[in-house]
Amino acid sequence: MHKATISGLDIAYQRAGQGPPLVLLHGFISDSRAWRRQIEDLSRDFDVVAWDAPGCGQSSDPGEEFSVAEFAGCLAGLLDAIGVSAAHVLGLSWGGTMALEFYRHRPDAVLSLVLADTYAGWTGSLGPEEAAARLERCLAESRLPAS
C-alpha cells in the first residue's frame, strides 16, 4: 500500500502493473481491497491504481462536509502526485458517481469511463423519500464496526 498527501489528507492507494493507466474507484464504505482479484488480473495489461477514497480504508477521514467535488479534486490531486496525466477510469456503484464527477472536472484526464452498477447521483435521479431512505441506510452502515 502506498500513500500520498493530497490537500492535507493521507490517501492510500495500491498500484501494480505496466501499460495504459487504469483507475479503480470502489463503492461506498469499501476500499481498494474490493479490487484485489481485478488488480491481480488487470495489472498484466494495465498500470492499475486503486485508491482508498477519503474516509475509507487506510485514507484520512475528511469530515462530514466533504463534497463530491472535493472527492473528485482529491482524486485529481492523487493522479497528479503519482504522475498519471490521463487514465481509463472504472467506477463501481458510488465509485461511478466519483468517476462522473472527476470527468466533469477533468475531462482531459479521462481516456474512457467504465461505470458499473452506478448512478449519476441522488439529486434528481431519485425522489426525495427514496433519497432520504438510502442516505439513512448508508449512514447507518458507515457506523458499523469494521469487523
* Active site (catalytic) residues: 93
Please give the distance of CA 74 from its chain centroid, rounded to a whole number: 10
Residues 6+ apart with CB under 8 A from 142: 28, 29
Residue 102 φ/ψ, nearest 5 degrees: -60, -45
Which residues, other chains included, contact 16 with Cβ-Cβ below 8 Å and sequence gap of 6+? 39, 40, 43, 47, 48
Whether residue 52 contacts residue 34, with contact meaning beta carbons closer than 8 Å, is answered with no
